[in-house]
Structure 1
């Protein structure tokens, strides 16, 4: 069967009428154009996927006889089965559970062997972390805080809580930058089941002009990088 060079879509033969093949081609185009991925970190398929929901397979065979790692899996409700698309070098995908500071899904590119975030471009562009001024004494981090620089300016004792993965769908590359921009302690607080690893010789308490980065290193595990109050 002949296929197109870029997308690998099967072509109908001359004078052929094959509705099933044509519908499958349209379904594949429906996935590939404006490719939106729900999650790219799953090694087993979700239990109750919605029709046309698409994922990048992290590892495993997803119920088939061979590894589907790196492939695009989408659920066909009409077929009651997963459909798989092998990506090609240069394809881009928006991963909906990984948002930047503006709430926009991060774009991953396929190198020909793996999916990865593009390198940040230099040269004085408009990139960089969004600055968020927090004037209250209590904040619970949200998905939109991923990659942001949060400055706590209230002079009273304050807290920043990192909620668990069950509450916020943190991506594998999530990080939050925090600055204590005023007097009074700022306490970094783990949510239920969350571990915050304090820096060497430090605590989870910050005072004026201290700055840290909270880096997600595993599900519900974050490293605190920077200066905090000595233990």
Structure 2
């Protein structure tokens, strides 16, 4: 049987459940006094829970959503995605999964714009050239693809890992094992 004792953390007392409207005060790390503007924030328990759980499930293949005060955790399906055609466009099904680009001949992977895919903030996609065919990344209409200037946007051989980090609206950073320019 669970311990029913209430514990205190500072002036907080543990409760069995928090409501969406329960608020916490958070102090800035610089220790500015409460009279200093923006030194204290009030944030709901639901927002803190959603943020923390979101970080926990990120990359796990699980999906977390918060709508109308209801937090839902659901299975993301397969832990990896096989991309086998000669051309593919990335989408939300590529999130939180390892993307195996598996073809005997060259593959072209397109990163579509936000107007086509509702990319979440701070998303990172990852995978590898699984087959013999090199993988080339191209930017969709209106998308900026950033990479090192001394590298191509084509993987450098079988098992070469790659990653894409969304750094802004329609802006992505390409990184990994790529050929020399």
- Pick from 81, 94, 98 the counterpart of residue 132 of structure 1: 81
TM superposition shift of 1:208: 2.1
Structure 1 90/180 Cα, relative in aligned 2: closer, same or farther at 3 Å?
A: closer
Per-residue CA deviations over 1:157-190 (Å, capped at 9, x if unaligned) read 1111111111111111211112111222211011
Residue 159 of structure 1 corresponds to 108
- Pick from 137, 150, 159 the counterpart of residue 201 of structure 1: 150
CA distance in 2, matches of 1:132, 1:214: 15
Q: Where do residues 1-231 of structure 1 align in structure 2 (5 Å cutoff)?
A: 6-7=18-19, 32=20, 87-88=44-45, 91-93=48-50, 102=61, 104-105=63-64, 130-206=79-155, 207-231=157-181
Per-residue CA deviations over 1:196-215 (Å, capped at 9, x if unaligned) read 11235211111322111111
TM-score normalised by L of structure 2: 0.60
TM-score normalised by L of structure 1: 0.48
CA distance in 1, matches of 2:128, 2:81: 10
CA distance in 2, matches of 1:209, 1:91: 39
Per-residue CA deviations over 1:66-125 (Å, capped at 9, x if unaligned) read x9xx88xxxxxxxxxxxxxx5148842389xxx867462357xxxxxxxxxxxxxxxxxx
Structure 1 90/191 Cα, relative in aligned 2: closer, same or farther at 3 Å?
A: closer
Listed as ranges, the gaps of 5+ residues in structure 1 are 8-31, 34-66, 72-85, 108-128
Listed as ranges, the gaps of 5+ residues in structure 2 are 1-16, 22-37, 67-77
CA distance in 2, matches of 1:90, 1:167: 28
The structure with higher relative contact order (CA 8 Å, sep 6+) is 2
Classify the secondary structure of the residue corresponding to 1:92: helix
Structure 1 segments, 4+ long, off by >4 Å, are: 99-103
What CA RMSD, in Å, does the superposition of the two structures yield over aligned residues? 3.7
Aligned residues: 134
TM superposition shift of 1:130: 2.1
Question: Given that residues 62 and 96 in structure 2 are in contact (C-alpha distance below 8 angstroms), is that contact kept between their aligned partners in structure 1?
Answer: no
Per-residue CA deviations over 1:37-74 (Å, capped at 9, x if unaligned) read xxxxxxxxxxxxxxxxxxxxxxxxxxxxxx9xx88xxx
